[in-house]
Each structure stands twice: as C-alpha cells, then as structure tokens.
Structure 1
Amino acid sequence: MNDTSPAGGAAPLDVAIAHKDHHLADGRPLRALEGLRLTLPFGQAGAVVGPSGCGKTTLLRLIAGLDRDFAGHIRLPAHGRLGMVFQEPRLLPWRSVADNIRIAAPEAAEREIAALLAELSLAEHAAHFPGELSLGLARRVSLARALAVKPDLLLLDEPLVSLDAALARDLRDRIAALIEERRITTFIVTHDLSEAIALADRIFLLSPRPAHVVETLDIPEPRGRMAKDAAQALEARARAALSAARQ
C-alpha cells in the first residue's frame, strides 16, 4: 500500500518508506529501501547523500511519482507540482532550446521564458538545438525547463555529474542563487558531500542498501555563508557517519 499526494499550503516534503523492493530477473525481490524517513521544511533545499547503489535515485523516482510500487507514504508540498532535472538533460533533439521550454510549460508567458533564458545565460542559445549545446548548457536548459512549470517541488538528480570542475562550479552557483531567490522546496540527489554542503539547508545521509537515513545534518549557514573550517568539520562528520553505516 502506498500514498503519494500533495499536502497543501506551506507543508513540508514528508517521506516515510516502510519498504521498496526491486525484482530480479528470476523474480526474487531485492530490497532497496527500508524504514526510510525524512522531512524537508517548505522552501528549503535538502540533499541526499549515500554510497553508490544504495537507492538514492530510487528514492527520487518515488518522490517524483515515477514509481508507485512501495509501502509507505509521500506527502508533497503545496499543490504537488513537480519540476525535475534528470542526470541526462532529456531534451527533444528536434526542438530548439526555447521550444523545449515552451512544450514543458505551455502556460508560461513569453516574457517568463525570456526571463528564465536570461537568468541562466541562455538567451543567445534560444534558437539552438540540443545537438549544438555542450553538456553544461544542456543542463541549464533542463533546469530552465523545470523552473518554467513553477514547481512546488524541484527535484535534481546528480545535477553536476560529468561536468568539469569549472562548469560544475558555475552551475552549482547558479542553482544556489535560484534556491535563495525563489525559495522553492528543492530535493537534490548527489554523491558529492561538498556539493551537498554548498547547496542544501539539510543533508540526509543514507546507509547501504536497503537504505535508510542514518543521520540528518542541518546547515545553519547554507549556500556559501558557512566559514570554510565549519564546512570542513561538517563534511568530516558526514564522512564518519557514512563510514560507520557501512560497517
């Protein structure tokens, strides 16, 4: 039995997964998540970090409603409108950058689309096609597309993966600025603790499979306002918790 529904108003993202199983080729169940519980306050950014293969993307898919085969409940903030940025940009190759955004958000006014393109430094690429874009630009288009729907919950799946250091830093800073300005409840999956610390208000550390939350870390001064030594201490604490969960 499962339930995924909007909670309404300024409600938090509330996730309680009793268990989630995958099924192997021979029909045997493989438990991915068990006893997983997390809450993210309205308007905050949360990041989930855990070892490879522990079920981070599975959790994201459950929250997105792409998989409803689980036991438990998921309560979404406000009206439950989602914007999602996948690891791969998933842009329509036969449509321009601007058209990819229009198709996802047909109710968006042209001035709103133009403002998004400008905000993400994409205005000069509006008429380009995805095949003409670098991965970094394509990721920005994917982010613009997700924001164009005016989401109540923004889901980001490894938004900086496979980018070189300079591009990753640029996109991370853009995402951080958007989180600060728009105050959209944002849920980020990442394998990178420094990325999580740079973007999130709250970090959820996951155990190996079947995953559950081993520790929740609240960041008192998020998105660049934390002193370097405090950020390093937080990262060391997180690494210790993740290491202990593997034993």
Structure 2
Amino acid sequence: MNDTSPAGGAAPLDVAIAHKDHHRADGRPLRALEDLRLALPFGQAGAVVGPSGCGKTTLLRLIAGLDREYTGHIHLPAHGRLGMVFQEPRLLPWRSVADNIRIAAPEATEEEIAALLAQLSLAEHATHFPGELSLGLARRVSLARALAAKPDLLLLDEPLVSLDAALARDLRDRIATLIDEKRITTLIVTHDLSEAIALADRIFLLSPRPAHVVETLDIATPRSKLTQDVAQTLEAQARAALAAARQ
C-alpha cells in the first residue's frame, strides 16, 4: 500500500519508501528502492545524488505521483501543488512559448507570465515555437512553465544534463536565484555533485540499487556565499560517502 498526500501548511517533504519494485521482462521483480527515507524542510532546496541507474528518477516519479506502485508514504508540503521539469523539456511543438506556459498554468495572469519570461530572459522568444529554440532556451521555458503554476513543491530531473559548460552554469545560476527569491520547496535529481552543492541546502546521497539514503549533508553556507574551499570540502565528503556505499 502507499500514501501520497499533501501535509498542509509549512510542512516538510517527507518520504519513506519501504520498497519499490520494477518488473523484468520475465515478470520477476527488480527492487529499485528499499528503506529509503528523506525529509526536506519547507522552503529549502534538496538534491538527490547517486550512481547511474540507482533509482533517482524513479524516486522523483513516485514523489510526483506519476507512479503509485510502491509501499510506504510520501507527504507533500502545503497543498501538494507540483511543478516538474523533466530531463526533456516536453513542450507542445504546435504552441508558442507563451502558450505552453498558459496551458500549464491557466490561473496565471499575463503580468505573471511576462515577469517569468523576463526573469529567465525569454521575453523575446514569447511568440517562438519550441522547434525554433535551442536546448538551453527550451529548458528555461520548461522551468518557467513549472513555476507559473505556483507550486508548493518544485521537482527538477537533471535540469542541466546535455548542456555545454557555459549554458549549464548560466541555467544553474538562474535556478539558484529563483530558489532564493521564491522560497519554494525544491528537489533536484542530479548526477553532478558540484551542481548539487551549488543549488541545494541539503544533499541526499543514494546507494547503488536498491537505493537508500546513505548520508544526508546539510549545507549551512548560503548559496551566495559558498566559497570554492567549502564546496571542495563538501564534494570530497560526498564522494567518500558514495564510495563507501559501493563497497
């Protein structure tokens, strides 16, 4: 059995997965997650980091309610309104940038949409169609679409994957600024420790499959004041914990 529900108020994201199984082609179960627990305080940003194939995206899909076949509970913050940015932008190709946002957030005003487009430097692309956009621009539109819904919980699945270093750094900085400004509870899935350290207040390190949290790192230094020395220390600590989990 499972329970996915909003917790109400300024409650944390609370996840406790006893087990989650996939099924092989021959019907045998494949355990993806087991005894996985994480809690993220209201208004904070968390990052989930673990080895490739350990179940990071599976976890995000469970939290988003896209997969309800698991045993455990997931309590969402506030009213449980979700915004999600997938690895692929998933924009409607026959709709303009502005219309993609309007469709996802019908309650958003034109002023709110215009403000989001301006924040993400998309105003000049409002009437463009997805096929006219680079991957970096499409990712920004996907982020604007998720934010327009005024989510209680923002889920980001590998938001910087496949971008070159300069574009990834630019989008990472924009995400960090929006997290600080909007104070939305945010959970980011990434394979990149430096990305996690730059964006998160709390990092959840996962074991190989079946995944569970092997260590939780709290980052006390505000994002805007994070020095290279502090980031390197945190990365070394995280790498050590991940290496130990593989043994």
**Shorter-chain TM-score range:** over 0.9
| Distance in 2 between residues matched to 1:179 and 1:227, nearest whole Å | 19
> What corresponds to 1:109 in structure 2?
109
Deviation digits for residues 139-162 of structure 1, max 9, x if unmatched?
000000000000000000000000
> What corresponds to 1:217 in structure 2?
217
Do the aligned residues in 2 keep the contact of 1:199 with 1:222 (CA within 8 Å)?
Answer: no
Aligned positions of 1:228-239 closer than 5 A? 228-239=228-239
> What corresponds to 2:43 in structure 1?
43
Q: Which amino acid aligns with 1:124?
A: E
| Distance in 1 between residues matched to 2:186 and 2:47, nearest whole Å | 8
Indicate yes or no: 2:149 matched with 1:149: yes
Do the aligned residues in 2 keep the contact of 1:22 with 1:32 (CA within 8 Å)?
Answer: yes
Deviation digits for residues 56-78 of structure 1, max 9, x if unmatched?
00000000000000000000000
Q: CA deviation at 1:222?
A: 3.4
Q: CA deviation at 1:28?
A: 0.1
Do the aligned residues in 2 keep the contact of 1:83 with 1:154 (CA within 8 Å)?
Answer: yes
> What corresponds to 1:186 in structure 2?
186
Moved more, 227-236 or 44-53: 227-236
| Distance in 1 between residues matched to 2:103 and 2:82, nearest whole Å | 15
| Distance in 2 between residues matched to 1:97 and 1:196, nearest whole Å | 28
> What corresponds to 1:133 in structure 2?
133
> What corresponds to 1:60 in structure 2?
60
Indicate yes or no: 2:200 matched with 1:200: yes
> What corresponds to 2:33 in structure 1?
33
| Distance in 2 between residues matched to 1:224 and 1:106, nearest whole Å | 33
Query: Equivalent residue of 1:116, what SS?
Result: helix
**Where in structure 1 are there 5+ consecutive unaligned residues?**
none
| Distance in 2 between residues matched to 1:55 and 1:30, nearest whole Å | 11
Q: CA deviation at 1:230?
A: 1.4
| Distance in 2 between residues matched to 1:162 and 1:228, nearest whole Å | 24
Q: CA deviation at 1:227?
A: 2.0
Q: Identity of counterpart residues, as a percentage?
A: 89
> What corresponds to 1:93 in structure 2?
93
| Distance in 1 between residues matched to 2:92 and 2:222, nearest whole Å | 35
Runs of 4+ in 1 over 3 A off after TM superposition: none
Q: Which amino acid aligns with 1:191?
A: H
**Where in structure 2 are there 5+ consecutive unaligned residues?**
none
Q: Which amino acid aligns with 1:2?
A: N
Do the aligned residues in 2 keep the contact of 1:200 with 1:222 (CA within 8 Å)?
Answer: no
